[in-house]
A and B are shown apart, each in its own frame.
Chain A
Amino acid sequence: MKTRRWVVSMVAAIGLLTAISAHGQAAKPEGTLTVAVATFGNERWLPHLYVGAEDVVLKPMYENLLTRDPKTGELAPMLAERWKVADGGRTWSFYLRKGVQFHGGRGEMTAEDVKFTFNTIAKDGSANSLAPEFRLIKSMEVENPYTLTVRFDKPFVVFGNKVNQGLFASVAFIQSKRYVETAKDDGAERLPVATGPWKFVEHVRGDRIVYEAVENHWRATPHFKRLVFVKVPEPSTRMAMLRAGSVDVIEVGGEYADELKQVGVRTLLMPNTSWLYIILGGQWATKPTYDPKVPWAQPDAERARKVRMALNLAVDKQAIVQRVLGGLGTVMGSWLMYPSDPWASDALKKPYPYDPAKAKALLAEAGYPSGFETTMNLTAWPGRGFLPDVGEAVATYWEKIGIRVKRRPVDRAIFAADFRARAYSGVALAYASPLVAPEPWEVLYRAGYTKAGLCLFVEQPKLDEFIDRLAGQPNYTERLRIMRDEMGPWLSEYVPGVAIGAAHTIAGLGPRVGDWPVIPGHMGFHNWEYIGRAR
């Protein structure tokens, strides 16, 4: 079964790469593609220094070992032309593509570079969001310049998703060992070097990043000669710059969708880029910050569940998607699943209904006929500026069933400390998880697994059991079955928070931008090298 899937993946990937290569080599790079984004993230370039929010601006020049098939979402080759999983997921061997060169004549990419990158991600003090996963590596062996074998103590069946270009925050971008060791961190950050279709030209912090096309790149030669990112924090200015022709692509929120339509600006829809929900803080009974008086986390599991269900039924999610997200979303009841996911069955896709009367009845059954007091944190996260509005809307719906909600606008830097320390019992907040892993249990591994999750928002032995089973299951079909038939229904019944659903994003496009193939479910801009020039 595994072999068949591997063959299918390889055929699909080769087909895709052939199509893309033909697409990419259609013309010599010409002109400049200027892109206005709200943020560059932390503007770091080395694997132990970037957190992940830099994804949009790093992706043009860096590459990973693997990517995802845009049609099926399955793993596909990138710097590794093939890979092999053995020993039930404990051993991963990557066979690298020969002849891939680092920019500026800095030599060929080899297994030593991959090993160096993985070690850098895992080193002490690393800011990289995948550091915990890369620290699970037991050993790495460079078999020959083009083969690296990575070994784990326990099965790591989805390691391929951690070295993947086709997901948000592709944090395992391969770096040149020799260059970074010679130039040191400071030099390598001033003049970053990679293997991608765009090479670094200039970086003025907080202002612009300039790339130039690599002609005859092994994978895809860009259509534009230059790619310029400008940081424009004000969305109205980004819109005006696009309409004035100063930029070709803008990052823009769903709240501007109607306005873009009215002024006739073309948009690119990127579906299912994050999963939107309300975290109900305090569901961590074994932690010192646990507060048994929090209605949704009280020791009486059934009463707590009724409260959480009431909080779901009280909210008109469709109205939130329409009004706050500008219609850019799909309401769903399943947890951390997108409508297109194979494990999202029809039953799981069905949202929790909007039924305030039943919500009030459930609250009364749970012992809160007059409601209770709670706090809604209104915190904005990078790229998800709509979250405080979602929190505000949910708070308003809760007030209609008698819950007294105190709004607390709080900066992310302040809240992050509480988030890490799980010091927000009884506090709710709107959150949108980008797709950092295709299988929902991989996200729950961080958010709801007591043995690994550091900022977990829900702690439940049954969830641990599911994650243990899924993490050790090398057979994809069996994992799919567990997610669809067991874990999904259990989560829907358990109601860990208020499910809203999948959020989409859009980009505004200028007249010079042609075709732009994107990977479904990928949050943030990507595939810069495949953007065509409009005729």
Chain B
Amino acid sequence: MWRYLIGRVLQTVLSMLVVISIVFFLTRLSGNPIHLLLDVNASERDQQILMHHLGLDKPLPVQYGLYVRNIFLGDFGNSVLTRRPVTEHIWERLPATVELGLVAMLLSVLIGVPLGVYSAVHRGGTLDGAARVFAVLGQSMPTFWLGLMLILLFGVVLRLLPAGGRGGIEHLILPAFTLGYFTSAAILRLTRSAMLEVLGSDYIKFARLKGLHEQVVLWKHGLKNALLPVVTFAVMLFVQFLGGAVVTETVFAWPGLGRLILESITTRDYPIVQAGVLVLSALYLTGNLFVDMLYSYLNPRIRHARA
């Protein structure tokens, strides 16, 4: 088990190094930030001074070496735009992203799991059909369109909820639902199919034969076993929410990490893009590692096979 875990951690570190390298070189292919930091009439001398100040006058391999060394020393550098530490910017935005991601995931699970169970138990019924329509709609509607429609309905027409920005709990509802609807539909489908498989298994038949109450059979014996792939999916979803909520963050003017990275790409703020992507990939890889470990723990067959 320990050998397996150490191997997975090393794999994670190696993957992050690859990510760092790709991001470093790709950002430098996308244009020089000094062209956006200086006026078009800036002299050659002003350009050279700024290039030197930002360390962009050094050869690319030297820049790369310094960057990797500094990361290992815990220094992500300063934003080229604000010249403030990159970590300061990331920490400024991370709470908003985590807040949105957590609530969206919670909504996804609270909607997707009960509906999935209900749909599986009443397979072929009217409510199963309705749940499936809900799932198809959720997975086929573009996020930006759904977001705008919700803003128009709840913000403009009914005036029940704010149309954008971050503030109290009322600001969270629309963006979290927009972000969570797509995934709740996916969770619904996943829960439904897992439940159908579990409900057809011998141990469920045995539990029923034992005379256990149907609710106990469903929720204790059925759902508990069907949840394994759902939990895995939800953990990975949450990590994806942290970086992949750019569209939702943009539509709802939500000041999250995804928007920070997107804006930093347009302003060629290399250090923020690099650090942002690094944080997200670290979260993603850690999430993956966590799920792998969880699997090993929950399913002895996997643990033994890997050992």
Contact = CB atoms under 8 A, between A and B. Distances in A.
Interface of A: 36, 42-44, 51-52, 124-129, 131-132, 185-186, 189, 204-208, 230-234, 236-237, 240-241, 243-246, 411-414, 416-417, 419-420, 446, 453-455
B306 interface: no
Contact of B81 (A42, A125, A126, A232): A42
A127 B39 contact: yes
Given A36-B253, A245-B159, A417-B35, 12 more contacts: A43-B81, A125-B46, A127-B39, A131-B39, A204-B255, A237-B151, A241-B165, A244-B162, A411-B266, A414-B30, A417-B32, A454-B40
Residue among A237, A243, A245, A414 with max Cβ neighbours from chain B (10 Å): A237
Nearest to A455: B40
A248 to B, nearest CB: 13
A44 B37 CA distance: 10
Contacts of B166: 207
A131 B47 CA distance: 13
A446 B41 contact: yes
Given A42-B37, A244-B163, A233 B155 contact: no
Contacts of B140: none
Given A124-B49, A241-B163, A51 B38 contact: yes
Contacts of A454: 40-43
A412 B36 contact: yes
Contact of B151 (A208, A240, A453): A240
B197 interface: no
B92 A205 contact: yes
Interface string B79-118: 0011110000100110000000000000000000000000
A232 B253 contact: yes
Contacts of B49: 124-125
Q: Which of B30, B39, B50 has the most CB of A within 10 A?
A: B39
B152 interface: yes
Contacts, number: 141
Interface of B: 30-33, 35-43, 45-47, 49-50, 53, 81-84, 89, 92-93, 148, 151-152, 155-156, 159, 162-166, 250-253, 255, 259-260, 263, 266-268
B41 A129 contact: yes
B156 A234 contact: no
A417 B56 CA distance: 15
Nearest to A413: B31
B148 A236 contact: yes
B99 to A, nearest CB: 14
Contact of B148 (A44, A237, A244): A237
Contacts of B37: 42, 51, 127
Given A207-B255, A230-B165, A240-B164, A413 B36 contact: yes
14 contacts: A42-B267, A44-B81, A127-B50, A185-B83, A186-B83, A205-B82, A240-B152, A240-B156, A413-B35, A417-B32, A417-B35, A446-B41, A453-B41, A454-B42
B148, B165, B266 pick with most chain A CB within 10 angstroms? B165
A472 B30 CA distance: 43
Contacts of B266: 411, 413
A417 B148 CA distance: 37
Contacts of A205: 82, 89, 92
Contact of A189 (B42, B82, B253): B82
Contact of A131 (B42, B53, B260): B42
B151 A411 contact: no
A234 B249 CA distance: 10
B159 A206 contact: no
A125 B47 CA distance: 7
A244 B46 contact: no
A237 B175 CA distance: 12
Nearest to B81: A42
A245 B33 CA distance: 37
A420 B37 CA distance: 13
A189 B81 CA distance: 12
Most buried by A among B35, B37, B89, B250: B35
Contact of B251 (A42, A237, A416): A237
B41 A455 contact: yes
Contacts of B46: 124-127, 131
Contacts of B268: 413
Contacts of B263: 206, 233
Contacts of A241: 155, 163-165, 253
B40 A52 contact: no
A125 B53 contact: yes
Contact of B39 (A52, A206, A207): A52
A234 B253 contact: yes
Contact of A246 (B40, B53, B89, B162): B162
Contacts of A240: 148, 151-152, 155-156, 163-164
B40 A125 contact: no
Give the one of A129, A246, A412, A453 with max B CB within 10 A. Answer: A246
Contacts of B165: 230, 232, 241, 246
B162 A44 contact: no
B251 to A, nearest CB: 6
A237 B164 contact: yes
Contacts of B89: 205
Contacts of A412: 35-36
Given A241-B155, A413-B35, A132 B43 contact: yes
Contacts of A207: 166, 255
Contact of A234 (B31, B50, B92, B251): B251
Most-contacted residue by chain B among A206, A231, A241 (CB, 10 A): A206
A126 B47 CA distance: 9
Contacts of A44: 81-82
Contacts of A245: 159
Contacts of B251: 234, 236-237
A132 B152 CA distance: 48
A244 B157 CA distance: 8
B41 A132 contact: yes
Nearest to B262: A233
Contacts of A233: 250, 253, 259, 263
Nearest to B158: A244
